Structure 1
Amino acid sequence: MDHLDALENESIYIFREAHRKFKDLAMLWSIGKDSTTLLWLARKAFFGKVPFPLVHIDTGFKHPMMIAYRDRMAKEWEVDLIVGQNEEAICSGMTPEKGRFACCNALKTQGLQQLLDRRGFKGIFLGIRRDEEGSRAKERIFSPRDKNFEWNYKDQPPELWDQFNTSFGPDTHVRIHPLLSWTELDIWEYIRREEIPICPLYLSKDGKRFRSLGCVPCNFPLDSGASTVDEIIEELKVTKTPERAGRAQDHEAAYMMQKLRSLGYM
């Protein structure tokens, strides 16, 4: 068993353990490489049929290519896709021009919270990784939130020797992170091995590509000649550029991402 096999087995175990312990589960599908890898693993864990719905929060600012990819793959993989929006915020004219923190909180965090509350989901799978961004490094595999979906990053249960705490109170909302131990390079090597279809925005065009996908006004391509998965893997082995260098919210005020995530951001 190689490194990717070990990661795959752990993720599949987490999926099955969560499905055994919790009712009313869903999975966030942001259309990016991580959540698409997560969806691939969910299909493996449950023998091709994902037993819970997928949730995509559409801010109204996503790349059209992301939406086209989402709809194509949802149909091909026969998943139950729920698209949610904070319609009140969108109708009131919320945009990044009103501040990226306010926009992300309204369109993403509150949009997700509204859908979770409306549909009664008690737990949700997310494709975050510890190496992706500082606040995510503080996460646990099974991460409790309060009844308002807020995260107390200073009070997280220990998970020593892969012993996961799955016993929480009735008002607890649980975020479940099967990819937490993976790295960006692991994701791409697994995509190559499994031949997972990815959004074309990740592949270089005219000397630029996206390493992380978000909303058009706040998401910028980086210089890169990597136009195939093999070339992306070789690029990652030598690059010094942070993965989220093209995400504007990561360059805002100190601890912005941690503040957003404490409020329930993905």
Structure 2
Amino acid sequence: MSNLSKLESQSIFLLREAYRTFRRIGMPWSMGKDSNVLLWLAQKAFCGRIPFPVLHIDTTYEFPEMLEFRAWAQKHYGLQLIVKINEEAIARGVGYETHDPVTVTHELKTVALQQALAEYQWDALITGIRRDEDPTRAKERYFSPRSSEGEWNYKDQPPEFWNQFALPPKGAGGHVRVQPLLDWTEYDVWLYIRREKIPIPPLYFARNGKRFRSIGCRPITHPVPSTASTVDEIIAELYSTRTPERAGRAQDHHERNAMQKLRAKGFL
């Protein structure tokens, strides 16, 4: 069995374990490459359907191309799509025009997620994070508990020795993050996209000598130099590039340990 098939098998196992264990599940979907791989794996795990709602946190700063992809994917996959906007923060004037990226990310993404958790009472969220994407995410577990406020104590995670997936006890009002892509790398993701012919947004492909490696809010997401305009060319580029995957994500670089602080408060 190839490494890619082993990763696929483990991810499907984790998805099925989550569905067997938890009563109310939601799956955050950023519309990016990782979350589209996660959609694809969920379809495979559950015989062509995705049996839980898919949540998009809409900051109102999305690229138009991503919104077009969202509309297409909802119809194509038959998604139970929930779109959540933190209307209260927007009413207070929170935005990139007036606030720093970390504050806006927390208010428009993390707090919006907390609102969705309170509204839909999910006891598990299936996320598409990977260990190799950011040093903070490397501290995650396959089944990672969150507090009733959605906060993450990265210093106190359940042991998972020899791929024994511990199911941590859930505190009152808390939830568990299920991470089926934790062992995947960016390179694995693109190999899988090629093998399975998974649809992805066009922003990942180079235009005018630049492309997006990682896609977030429009004002704080910047493309990197690239001529890779096909999946094969992206895979070849990743084999030799020294540019970090999240080099174009401004909130990561706004202050020291910005990502760790955001994730401790509940950011995906």
Q: 3-state SS of the aligned residue for 1:144?
A: strand
Structure 2 residue aligned with 1:64 = 64
Question: Match for 2:263 among 246, 261, 264?
Answer: 261
Structure 2 letter corresponding to 1:196: I
Deviation for aligned residue 1:91: 1.7
Q: Which of 189, 202, 205 is 2:204 aligned to?
A: 202
Q: Secondary structure at the match of 2:132?
A: coil
Distance in 2 of aligned mates of 1:200 and 1:145: 34
**Do residues 40 (structure 1) and 40 (structure 2) align?**
yes
How far apart are the structure 2 equivalents of 1:30 and 1:169? 25
Match of 2:80 in 1: 80
Query: AA paired with 1:73?
Result: A
After the TM superposition, which residues 11-50 of structure 1 pair with which residues of structure 2 at under 5 Å, given as runs?
11-50=11-50
- Aligned pairs (5 A) from 1:168-187: 168-171=169-172, 172-187=174-189
Q: In the alignment, which residue of structure 2 is the partner of 1:52?
A: 52
Q: CA deviation at 1:79?
A: 1.0
Percent identity between the aligned chains? Answer: 54
* Alpha-carbon distance in structure 2 between the residues aligned to 1:169 and 1:179: 22
- Are 2:143 and 2:168, in contact at CA under 8 Å, matched by a contact in 1? no
Amino acid at match of 2:236: E
Displaced runs of 4 or more, over 2 A? none
Distance 1:175 1:141 in 2: 8
Deviation at 1:56, TM superposition (A): 0.3
Residue 163 of structure 2 corresponds to which residue in structure 1? 162
The secondary structure found in structure 1 opposite 2:181 is coil
2:233 matched residue in structure 1: 231
Instruction: Summarize deviations over 1:34-65 as a string: whole Å, max 9, x none.
Output: 00100100000001111100000000001010
Normalised by the size of structure 2, how large is the TM-score? 0.98
TM-fit CA distance, 1:84: 0.3
For 2:63 and 2:131, the matched residues in 1 are separated by 26
Q: Is contact 2:144–2:168 with CA below 8 Å preserved after alignment?
A: no
SS in 1 for 2:256: coil
Shift of 1:169: 3.1
- CA RMSD across the alignment: 0.8
More off after superposition, 70-79 vs 181-190: 70-79
Q: Which runs of 5+ in 2 are unaligned?
A: none
Which string of whole-angstrom CA distances, capped at 9 and with x for unpartnered residues, describes residues 64-90 of structure 1?
Answer: 100110110110110100000110111
Q: Whole-Å Cα distance in 2 between the matches of residues 157 and 71 of structure 1? A: 38
Q: Residue in 2 aligned with 1:100?
A: 101
Distance 2:143 2:124 in 1: 9
Q: Secondary structure at the match of 1:26?
A: strand
Cα offset for 1:103? 0.5
User: Which residue pairs with 2:124 in the alignment?
Assistant: 123
Distance 1:141 1:167 in 2: 10
Partner secondary structure for residue 134 of structure 1: coil
Secondary structure, counterpart of 1:55 in structure 2: strand
Distance 1:32 1:7 in 2: 19
8 Å CA contact 2:145–2:168 kept in 1: the answer is no
Number of residue pairs matched by the alignment: 266
221, 230, 245: which one aligns with 1:243: 245
- In the alignment, is the contact (CA less than 8 A) between 2:127 and 2:180 conserved in 1? yes
